[in-house]
Chains A and B, each alone.
Chain A
Amino acid sequence: MNSFQLADLEEELLRCMKCGNCQAVCPLYRATRQEPLVARGKIRLAQAVLSGEIACTPKIARRFEECLTCLACMANCPSGVRYDRLIIAARAAAVKKRGLPRLLRYAAALLRRPRLFALTMRAAGKVQGLVFKRVPSGGQSPRFRLAADKERIFPRLAPRPYLDFAPEIISPSAGWRGLKVAFFPGCLANYVYPQTAQAAAELLASLGVAVLVPRPQQCCGMPVFTHGDVDLMRKAAIELVRLFSGVDCAALVTVCPTCGEAFLHYYPAVLTGALKEKALALAKKTMDVTDFLSKYNLGAPELWGPVPGKFTYHSPCHLDRGMGVYKQPLALIKGVPEAVFTPLREPAACCGGAGAFSFLSRELSALVLSPKVADIRQTGAQTVLTGCSACRMQLAEGLAKAGLAAEVLHTVEFLARARKRKAS
């Protein structure tokens, strides 16, 4: 099961009994009601490609791209088909034949050279005004048509990435509990939302945990892996497993569930030999920041000061079904005094962001987003909390376009705020 080649996954494809249960939960199927968009259809297409019944046409490649990888089908599959593996293998087959989708090719070129990537992002943070104009919601829209439509609203890149100013060791600001964690903020919390990374580090330090931020860090490789470039991701895996294996720590903490999944599930799967062993050891201690707080009893209500307001929580696919973390953030949020919490009707329904998906399949992404925005609207929440920066981008854009004033915050920023209120 460690292969991401269709030929090695024939048995897994056969395990799909075509019952169609995936239709009940697939956001794209719910939006379009078309069989090629649901897991059952894609598994049939993958079988057709594998058997040579059909060539790996551009249309097939596009159909494989049209998946949110939200894992809802897998969670609902009576036969336990590992659709997460199958969709990556199917995309990998298409990539082998046709290359990555154009948009991702640029990203891949940069990922191949991590230092150039860092330089580019830093420069982009400075010159983004040439390409983007600010919009009232606080984000920005393209001044002209790029890879994205002019109507899209993006967050602004941070003037200074987190890793440019973060110390390598952040000492506990309260009594040390004898705990050390390694911290991997990931690209979005580095370049776009440094406040998330900063909040996580400060929160942990304020709870008596020492935070280590080893360098050089780089992209985890998941953006290209998810779209079928397994080899390029393996290069990132090798570097990052080497880096973090050298850190003496109780846990490897992430604030991005997709990065978290890379360490938790996929690095051990793509590596071999001694590196695989190291990856497995790292996987055992990889955890989302909210999971870490729960496991180490650092989430008791008396730790938090009041944060008044009306809140709701969007459960990110890759945190919820990907890392198995859904109760922890809720328990923490509900422990904060004066925060009035109203759950979404479907908290774990995908928001349609799904990383590059929102660029590659923009119309489908919008179709999936719209019920999510309606769900948020009915809660009357002023703040939407979530544990994923990609969801945050998507939700912020959806709320702004729908004219809702609600803001979107990473759970850890909310908790850091509650912690500060306690101190002051």
Chain B
Amino acid sequence: MNVSQAVAGIIKALGKEKVLTDREDLLCYSYDATPDVPGALPEAVVMPENTAEVVQVIKIAGRYRVPVYPRGAGTNLSGGTVPVRGGIVLSLLKMDKILEIDADNLIAVVQPGVVNQALNDALAPYGVFYPPDPGSAATATMGGNVAECSGGLRGLKYGVTKDYVQGLEVVLADGAVVRLGGKTVKNVTGYDLVKLFVGSEGTLGVITEITVRLLPVPESRCSMLAVFADLEAAGNAVSDIIRHKVIPATLEILDKVTIRTVEDYLHIGLPVEAEAVLLVETDGVKETVAKEKEVLRSVLEKHGGQVKIAAGEQERDQLWAARRAALPALARLKPTTVLEDATVPRSQVTRMLAAIREIGQKYNVLIGNFGHAGDGNLHPTILTDARNEEEMERVHRAVEEIFEKALELGGTLSGEHGIGLAKKRFLPRQTGAEGLALMKRIKRALDPLNILNPGKFVDLEDEGEAGE
């Protein structure tokens, strides 16, 4: 590995203005949005403006065996973009053009640096939308969304990023450019390589162009809030809604800690005595929405929920203000906010909710729990202070137990944040030694020099863990 030669080569190829090498600037690429993971300094930050430049960077990096860390807006919650082994951060933010909006085929083609929300703003005049809406949609890039397979509030009905990516252009570790998938809905031409790269967290290739599927904007929607005096009752209502053949667009839960914190922050009249609230929205054609509204109301009431239905857009916004404020309000309480995303099959949501509450008590850590109850993807949020070593020890044990519980209930370590650095240690528990070994074989086949985002969940230099 000869970093300085590689950086010199890149400066020569791309020009000085596209490469940052001052320590003052490198510090600003030593982290992402993940709490409680160590930062690391890269030797250079490179900002290519097109695929050809990405190819040049990758070839030079390969020649000198220098790690490359693709990076979008750095909003991920897995430590996925931290340059743990040094080398080059490849910022794709300057590749930010929407290349095509093809409303007839319900397709958009974008560069990786396009911000999720910017795409939806551009789509609005066509009456179509790109459904995956991670919490960071206003800042996160499409490249990052694809690499991390982002989820969001609409997962229950609309699915997640992988359900919308139809085509990719990828620069491989040897500099070859491959185009995968395309504009057609149906496409069975060999392995489904598009899916391989979605959620690959920058370890297999650099995504330089994305073709996504779009949907027509639903003509009507209806939101409601249900207040519960019992956490389990709220959880049971979630399962029962699905059992009644209604799939809401969003079905969110806020627990007592979250409700109180949000109310302290916003003063919007939330029921602070409640154990949980559910926020539900159904969308679609008017008649369906009207029918589903009644089903939802009766199921929620059956489980003891006090239901308030939003009349008009303004009331809808008020209802959703509580959900939008959940993380911000919790984050204000303590300096460190550990946001997890362990996910269970939706029928197990009640048990998971109860388990998280007990784990919080057992380790005496403050957990605000909220999240996408409808798809089983909860966000237990531990509020702590990274400087308090003793408390952090308890936090780590609580997190570990949350993971254990999720797996025990047939769930997964991560619903939408990815493994990256933060959950690397836990991955074998889910995949088993064979599963992780298979991932490493794929990694080795595509990136034999191990230059793409090394040190993350498929770590070729860390063989002990996989039991190989």
Q: Which residues of A contact B (CB under 8 A)?
A: 11, 14-15, 17-21, 23-24, 33-36, 40-41, 44-45, 48, 53-54, 57, 59-60, 63, 78-80
Contacts and interface: CB of A to CB of B under 8 A. Distances in A.
Contact of A33 (B29, B32, B94, B335): B94
A14 to B, nearest CB: 4
Contact of B33 (A15, A18, A36, A44): A18
B337 interface: yes
A21 B28 contact: no
B136 interface: yes
B39 to A, nearest CB: 9
B27 A45 contact: yes
B23 A54 contact: yes
A20 B136 contact: yes
Contacts of A44: 27-28, 30-31
Contacts of A21: 136, 138-139
A36 B75 contact: no
B136 A33 contact: no
Contacts of A20: 32-33, 73-75, 136, 139-140
Contacts of A57: 24
Given A24-B138, A45-B24, A63-B24, A18 B335 contact: no
Contacts of B336: 14, 17
Interface in B1-59: 20, 22-25, 27-35, 47
A232 B31 CA distance: 36
Given A17-B337, A21-B139, A54 B94 contact: no
Nearest to B386: A14
Contact of B28 (A14, A45, A78, A80): A45
B163 interface: no
B328 A78 contact: yes
Interface string B107-147: 00000010101000000000000000000101110000000
Contacts of B332: 15, 79-80
B29 A35 contact: yes
Interface of B: 20, 22-25, 27-35, 47, 73-75, 91, 93-94, 96, 113, 115, 117, 136, 138-140, 327-328, 331-332, 335-337
A18 B28 contact: no
Nearest to A43: B28
26 contacts: A14-B335, A14-B336, A15-B335, A17-B33, A17-B331, A18-B34, A19-B33, A19-B136, A20-B32, A20-B73, A21-B139, A23-B75, A23-B139, A24-B138, A33-B91, A33-B94, A33-B96, A34-B47, A35-B74, A35-B91, A36-B20, A40-B28, A44-B27, A44-B31, A45-B28, A80-B328
Contacts of B30: 44
Nearest to A37: B28
A54 B28 CA distance: 12
A29 to B, nearest CB: 9
Given A19-B33, A34-B47, A54-B24, 14 more contacts: A18-B33, A18-B35, A19-B136, A20-B75, A20-B139, A21-B138, A21-B139, A35-B25, A35-B74, A36-B28, A44-B30, A59-B22, A59-B25, A60-B24
B4 to A, nearest CB: 19
B139 A79 contact: no
A78 B331 contact: yes
B75 A19 contact: yes
A368 B225 CA distance: 42
Contact of B27 (A11, A54, A79, A80): A54
Nearest to A22: B139
Contacts of B20: 34, 36
A53 B24 CA distance: 10
A32 to B, nearest CB: 9
A34 B28 CA distance: 9
B463 to A, nearest CB: 32
A267 to B, nearest CB: 27
B139 to A, nearest CB: 4
A54 to B, nearest CB: 6
Given A17-B331, A33-B96, A59 B337 contact: no
B351 to A, nearest CB: 30
Closest 9 CB pairs of A and B: A78-B328, A41-B28, A33-B93, A35-B28, A24-B138, A14-B335, A20-B75, A36-B28, A23-B139
Contacts of A45: 24, 27-28
A36 B73 contact: no
Nearest to B39: A44
Nearest to B94: A33
Contacts of A80: 328, 332
B181 to A, nearest CB: 27
B409 to A, nearest CB: 29
Contacts of B24: 36, 45, 54, 57, 59-60, 63
A390 B75 CA distance: 34
Considering residues A18, A33, A35, A48, which has the most beta carbons from chain B within 10 angstroms of its beta carbon?
A35
